[in-house]
Amino acid sequence: MTSHTPQIPSEVFELVDHLVALRADAAAAPLPFRDRGRTDADWIIGVKHVTDDASVHGSYWERHPRGDETLCLLEGRVVVTLEGEGVATRQIPLDAGQALVVPRGTWHRLHVDRPGRLIFITPSVGSEHRRVDASSDVSSNAAGASR
């Protein structure tokens, strides 16, 4: 077992424009949001203001082949739409204080029903995206979504 000398944090950073990069050796470091695709970290954690569908890439499906993604809603209400091969599309409403683990490789997208803040924990690289068909717009068919 290796010993570790505790260090005093050297900087405070704003969550609005930074992520936290988590490495395999359990080290954590602030990462400017603009550098999110250029890191050697395994995971990133971020806090995002969710104001409308554009703020959560609502017109794109996303998936993470390298690992699960955890979504923790602090404030507001979002609807997470999940799509899997051979499985019916599923819509899951998330209210403030609730969380959801999106399994590795599952296509998903979000719809903001009520603005708020979201924490996400996701693999730092390897995410895939594809455009949403107009016929599958979540904002028009969100089960249980209140406007």
Q: What is the pLDDT of residues 35-70, one digit of tens each?
A: 887 888 999 999 999 999 999 989 999 999 999 999
How does the average pLDDT of the chain come out, rounded? 86
* Domains of the chain, each with CATH number or no CATH: 18-124 (2.60.120.10)
Residue 143 has pLDDT above 60, yes or no: no
pTM of the model: 0.82
Distance of CA 68 to the CA centre of its chain: 10
The residues, any chain, with a CB within 8 Å of residue 64's CB and separated by 6 or more, are 102, 104, 105, 122, 123, 126, 127, 128
